[in-house]
């Protein structure tokens, strides 16, 4: 055993000596890599101190923050539209408008036209004691007169001093968004903030558009009621305004300012089949009118895209977001038991948007969902 050990030691010594120069070279490589790593870290640190790269980094941070804000805004709008489409009364629509609008501005004020005054609407009722005369120089009166959105500095409107007192303090910037129904402006949403960053004008515009569509949708069955009932009966069936003093029971806060819907003959295709009578027939007629209202809005506000989509046979792709959103509103409003049997929304899309030619909608259009909606 001792002889074997005496032979092993010289062998190990030989191996160590043979690879000693390689070991030294490897150590030199490690040292060199450490030096290069230190130089690279120093160089990168110097680069990040360059004004151009610092500005780029700052802009990237701002972009990330902006994307986060937009994502949050999209989530808020989705929740708001869900509330608006589920509303069964105009009061609910107006309450939802003010409630969700508070997330987009420092302060919100909804004003409803009453004769020659603008009256505040809050918590489901009109506050007659909080009002501004029509001839006072306010941003909401200007927005109503011009029927367009007005965003400006508050100091340009002398009558805003009392407005600020009512809201509890000064505000540097303001916006007024009118709810336009044809030639009529029955209400205006006012919002203000200490600076531009706390005033989401685009979000408020979208929210007001959603409220306007929701109110029109609620009034669609009312138009049909004028054919079947007397004006007195139609007024009595409207949803009352709870706790509102000085107004007739059963009249909505916007009723006196909105133009009355003229009695019209129901179109031939709006009459339910003979087999559908009573409540079932009325449900079919209401579903058709609601579908026609939604699709008519799409056509009205997207005329150029509709024309181009028909020409290129890609109409659905061009209006996919709007069509899908309206389809969702239709599905929430109309009974699933009815939509399983007949898809009025699809029929109106083909009739009004595609002018009877379903082919111009494109191959991506999902078609009728009458047999698939549960």
* Phi-psi sector, 227: left (phi>0), alpha (psi -120 to 50), beta: alpha
Q: Rounded distance, CA 132 to CA 138, Å?
A: 9
Same structural domain, 115 and 175: yes
- The reply to whether 14 falls in a domain is no
Q: What is the pLDDT of residue 216?
A: 83
- The reply to whether 309 falls in a domain is yes
Q: What is the pLDDT of residue 188?
A: 94
Going by C-alpha positions, the residue among 128, 124, 88, 92 that lies closest to residue 243 is 124
State the residue for tokens 């139609």. Answer: 234
| Domain final residue pick, 183, 212, 241 | 212
- The reply to whether 254 falls in a domain is yes
Same structural domain, 225 and 354: yes
Q: Rounded distance, CA 324 to CA 265, Å?
A: 30
**pLDDT tens, residue by residue, 182-215:** 778 899 999 998 876 778 888 888 889 889 888 8
Helices then strands (H, E): number in the chain?
13, 6
Same structural domain, 194 and 240: no
Same structural domain, 232 and 349: yes
**pLDDT tens, residue by residue, 25-74:** 778 888 888 888 888 887 777 776 777 667 777 788 777 777 776 777 67
- Is the dihedral angle over the CA atoms 37, 38, 43, 49 positive or is it negative? positive
pLDDT in tens, the chain (374 residues): 455 555 556 766 666 666 677 777 778 888 888 888 888 887 777 776 777 667 777 788 777 777 776 777 677 777 778 888 888 888 888 988 988 888 888 888 999 998 889 999 988 888 888 888 988 889 999 999 998 999 889 888 888 888 888 888 888 899 999 998 877 889 999 999 887 677 888 888 888 988 988 888 887 655 444 444 444 444 434 433 333 333 443 446 665 555 444 443 334 344 444 445 567 778 888 888 888 888 888 887 788 889 999 999 999 999 998 899 888 888 888 888 787 788 999 999 999 999 999 999 999 999 887 764 43
- Count of structural domains, the chain: 2
Going by C-alpha positions, the residue among 113, 114, 110 that lies closest to residue 97 is 110
Q: Rounded distance, CA 164 to CA 107, Å?
A: 10
From residue 218, alpha-carbon distances to 86, 156, 187, 281, 289 in Å are 10, 37, 16, 18, 11
Domain that holds residue 335: 220-361
Same structural domain, 243 and 203: no
pTM of the entire structure? 0.52
Q: What is the pLDDT of residue 276?
A: 52
Same structural domain, 333 and 200: no
Going by C-alpha positions, the residue among 324, 332, 338, 246 that lies closest to residue 285 is 338
- The reply to whether 131 falls in a domain is yes
Same structural domain, 199 and 253: no
Long-range contacts of 310-318 (CB under 8 A, 24+ apart): 310/354, 310/355, 310/357, 310/360, 313/359, 313/360, 313/361, 313/362, 314/362, 314/364, 315/353, 315/354, 315/360, 315/361, 315/362, 315/365, 316/361, 316/362, 316/364, 316/365, 317/362, 317/364
To 10 degrees, the CA torsion angle through 72, 75, 80, 82?
180
Same structural domain, 224 and 351: yes
Q: Is residue 296 classed exposed, middle or buried when 0-12, 13-18 and 19+ CB atoms within 10 A define those classes? A: middle
């Amino acid at each position: 055993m001792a002889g074997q050990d005496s032979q092993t030691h010289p062998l190990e010594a030989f191996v160590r000596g043979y690879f000693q120069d390689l070991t030294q070279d490897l150590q030199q490589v490690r040292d060199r890599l450490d030096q290069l790593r230190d130089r690279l870290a120093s160089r990168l640190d110097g680069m990040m101190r360059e004004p151009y790269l610092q500005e780029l980094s700052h802009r990237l941070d701002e972009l990330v923050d902006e994307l986060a804000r937009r994502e949050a805004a999209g989530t808020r709008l989705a929740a708001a539209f869900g509330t608006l489409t589920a509303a069964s009364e105009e009061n609910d629509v107006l309450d939802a408008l003010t409630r969700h609008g508070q997330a987009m501005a420092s302060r919100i004020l909804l004003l409803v036209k009453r004769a020659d005054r603008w009256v505040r609407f809050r918590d489901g009722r009109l506050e007659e004691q909080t009002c501004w005369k029509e001839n006072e120089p306010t941003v909401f009166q200007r927005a109503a007169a011009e029927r367009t959105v007005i965003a400006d500095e508050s100091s340009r409107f002398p009558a805003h001093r009392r407005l600020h007192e009512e809201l509890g303090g000064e505000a540097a910037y303001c916006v007024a968004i009118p709810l336009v129904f044809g030639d009529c402006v029955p209400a205006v949403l006012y919002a203000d903030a200490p600076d531009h960053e706390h005033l989401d004008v685009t979000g408020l515009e979208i929210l007001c558009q959603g409220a306007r569509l929701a109110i029109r949708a609620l009034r669609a069955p009312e138009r049909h009621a004028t054919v079947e009932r007397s004006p007195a009966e139609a007024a009595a069936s409207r949803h009352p305004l709870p706790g509102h003093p000085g107004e007739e029971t059963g009249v909505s806060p916007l009723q006196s300012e909105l133009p009355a819907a003229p009695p019209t003959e129901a179109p031939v295709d709006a009459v339910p089949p003979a087999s559908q009578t009573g409540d079932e027939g009325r449900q079919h007629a209401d579903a058709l009118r609601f579908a026609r209202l939604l699709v008519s809005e799409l056509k009205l506000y997207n005329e150029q895209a509709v024309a181009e989509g028909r020409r290129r046979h890609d109409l659905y792709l061009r209006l996919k977001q709007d069509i899908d959103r309206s389809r969702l509103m239709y599905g929430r409003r109309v009974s699933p038991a009815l939509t399983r049997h007949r898809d009025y929304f699809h029929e109106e899309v083909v009739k009004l948007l595609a002018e009877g030619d379903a082919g111009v909608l494109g191959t991506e259009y999902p078609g009728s969902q009458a047999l698939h909606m549960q």
